Structure 1
Amino acid sequence: MAESRYLPAWLFLATSGCRRGEALGLRWSDVDLEARTAIIRHQVVTVDHEIVFKDLPTTKRAHVVRLDPGTVSMLQSWKAGQNVERLMGGSGYASHGLVFAMADGRPNHPERFSREFQRKQEQFNRANPDSPLPRLVLHGLRHTWATLALKEGIDIKIVSDRLNHSSTHITRRSTPVTPPMQSDAADRVARQIWG
């Protein structure tokens, strides 16, 4: 996909399994790059198309997300760029402490954030008609993380915890089983049977 201001947030969604509002509500005070963790406690949502900051509901407890080295590196670069924007903005910079904010510090509008994801996919597909991206809604990044984790053999309890699901039943219900996963399961069990 072509470069976009939203790309770091989209990458964070893809590598963390977080929800859109959780990523948009993430504050630097909840990120420890040295320890490679992010505490998900807040969210940015819309009410009648207006941006609202909210704590996570009691059904979705605050939780720690462990970050991979690539995500940490991306966040370090993003933070450096954001610090430049803060200095350039001076007193006009809206300092909410958000990790993924607009150039002036204001929160990203969740609906526009999702529309831009779709727009960038369409733009890429027009430019690359012989190798288009499959259609994916933004929330699909969360499901993709779960599917890839399960494909890698990561225990469903760990996947469920990462996604902050209240039970593994929700994870099972919301994560598709792909044909390659089915084939791998068939081959692995068959090896046990046939020796």
Structure 2
Amino acid sequence: MKGSIRERSPGHWAIILDTPDPASGKRRRKWHSFTGTKRQAQVECARLISAMKGGTYLEPDKTTLAAFLDRWIHHIKAHVSPRSHERYADLARKNIAPLLGGIVLSKLRPAQIAASYTTALASGRRDGKGGLSPRTVHHMHRVLKQALGQAVKWELLNRNPCDAVDPPKVERVSMHTFDLPQTAELIDALRNTRMLVPALLAVLCGLRRGEIAALRWRNVDVTAGQIAVVESAEETKDGVRYKEPKSGRARTVALSSTMIDELKAHRARQAQELLRLGVRLSDDSFVVAQADAHPLKPTSITHEWVRLLGQTALPRIRFHDLRHAHATHMLASGVHPKIASERLGHSKVGITLDLYSHVLPGMQADAVVRVDDALRDAINKRTKSIG
């Protein structure tokens, strides 16, 4: 096995590798293009010969990163949810491909990837109005790293160039929620609107928007005082589909007496409203629905939330932040993080502790005081018993 180089034009070389055909024994030639100095071409030739001998050689391939990403997007469709697939496809085709798509996959280098992130941060918006956020570029990095990891598995690359690239640091955004007085004000402001029950399910039960949109009356047991969260609505370009909750498993959420009373009243109102339309409320009916009992899209909940919140003097927060408010209220009231984690549907208690670490210092101070009081009480009792 041997190799040679041939200059095609100044700075451009052809690397020719001679290797015997395993079947016929005849000599076969493999051609590689290379740009650089003669010395660099000789080093690359030696590297390719070494790769052939070591079994890590890759056949010359002109596949661009853009073409590979299209193949990868098709491949992962069966492995992720439709919404995730849409997100991956958008990031790959609309953010990554415009920056790196023209590069031949086998020639993609860490420096090029790092430079593309810098460009994206400075001028990556598709509308031409500035750069992308560090969080979006971080998502781009995750998608590209996953895609190139598959290229390694398919033996299209020897190594993943993303492994040598650090994505931009994402600063944690301050969490904005409602305290208890603001929560009371919110409930009063939404009292005669269709947003009352969705908001209550978020701020008093910690349900996600998709879980609220998918909740049916058969999953609500006001007698036992609990809700079974078994589905979540996911909105895609093809419409709304119902899937298992985010954590991958169902959970049971205990209801407060306030929530039970509100759900009973809501069901009675909903039944009367539907009866006027000639529709009978059933256990299959959605708890949160349109006036004609058709289910709401998750985005419809958000749009109505923004509209109604804008009519109040309350701070402008996302609908999802009501779930954060519920978690904050629980932890600040001394509820054990494990219980809060189960109620919120987090897969691990560590997620709860990480998300709501801002509440923990107050809890820690409270715990120290309680333990100190108990210790003093024990010391006093012992002193009295000895005396």
**Other-structure match for 1:99:** 287
Given that 2:222 and 2:264 are in contact with CA atoms closer than 8 Å, whether structure 1 keeps it comes out as yes
Q: Which whole-Å CA distance do the structure 2 matches of 1:190 and 1:67 have between them?
A: 30
Task: Map residues 147-158 of structure 1 onto 2, 5 A cutoff.
Answer: 147-158=328-339
Work out whether 1:69 is the aligned partner of 2:246.
no
1:109 aligned to 297, 305, 322, which one?
A: 297
How many angstroms does 1:16 deviate by?
A: 0.5
**Other-structure match for 2:215:** 26
Q: What secondary structure sits across from 1:16 in the alignment?
A: coil
Query: TM-score scaled by structure 2?
Result: 0.44
**Per-residue displacement from partner, 1:20-61 (whole Å, max 9, x unpaired)?**
1101111111111111111011122211273x2313158421
Q: Which whole-Å CA distance do the structure 2 matches of 1:187 and 1:34 have between them?
A: 35
Quote the RMSD (CA, aligned, Å): 2.7
Given that 1:28 and 1:99 are in contact with CA atoms closer than 8 Å, whether structure 2 keeps it comes out as yes
Work out whether 1:141 is the aligned partner of 2:322.
yes
The amino acid of 2:354's aligned partner reads R
How many angstroms does 1:89 deviate by?
A: 1.5
Consecutive unaligned residues in structure 2, runs of 5 or more: 1-188, 377-387
Work out whether 1:169 is the aligned partner of 2:350.
yes
Cα distance 1:57–1:189, how it changes in 2: closer, same or farther (>3 A)? closer
Work out whether 1:88 is the aligned partner of 2:267.
no
Give the stretch that moved more between structures: 37-46 or 65-74: 37-46
Given that 1:94 and 1:106 are in contact with CA atoms closer than 8 Å, whether structure 2 keeps it comes out as no
**Per-residue displacement from partner, 1:73-100 (whole Å, max 9, x unpaired)?**
0000000011112211215999951111
Which has the higher Rg, Structure 1 or Structure 2?
A: 2
Tell me the matched-pair count. 185
1:7 aligned to 196, 200, 206, which one?
A: 196
Given that 1:37 and 1:65 are in contact with CA atoms closer than 8 Å, whether structure 2 keeps it comes out as yes
Consecutive unaligned residues in structure 1, runs of 5 or more: 126-132
Cα distance 1:12–1:187, how it changes in 2: closer, same or farther (>3 A)? closer
Q: Which whole-Å CA distance do the structure 2 matches of 1:136 and 1:73 have between them?
A: 26
Cα distance 1:102–1:151, how it changes in 2: closer, same or farther (>3 A)? same
Given that 1:26 and 1:98 are in contact with CA atoms closer than 8 Å, whether structure 2 keeps it comes out as yes
Work out whether 1:189 is the aligned partner of 2:189.
no
Q: What secondary structure sits across from 1:90 in the alignment?
A: coil
Given that 2:216 and 2:286 are in contact with CA atoms closer than 8 Å, whether structure 1 keeps it comes out as yes
Tell me which of the two structures has the higher relative contact order, counting C-alpha pairs closer than 8 angstroms and 6 or more residues apart. 1
Q: Which whole-Å CA distance do the structure 1 matches of 2:200 and 2:295 have between them?
A: 17
Q: Which whole-Å CA distance do the structure 2 matches of 1:65 and 1:184 have between them?
A: 23
Runs of at least 4 residues of structure 1 off by over 6 A? 92-95
How many angstroms does 1:149 deviate by?
A: 0.5
Q: What secondary structure sits across from 1:38 in the alignment?
A: strand
Cα distance 1:70–1:157, how it changes in 2: closer, same or farther (>3 A)? same
Q: What secondary structure sits across from 2:224 in the alignment?
A: coil
Q: What secondary structure sits across from 2:288 in the alignment?
A: coil
Given that 2:204 and 2:326 are in contact with CA atoms closer than 8 Å, whether structure 1 keeps it comes out as yes
Q: What secondary structure sits across from 1:137 in the alignment?
A: coil
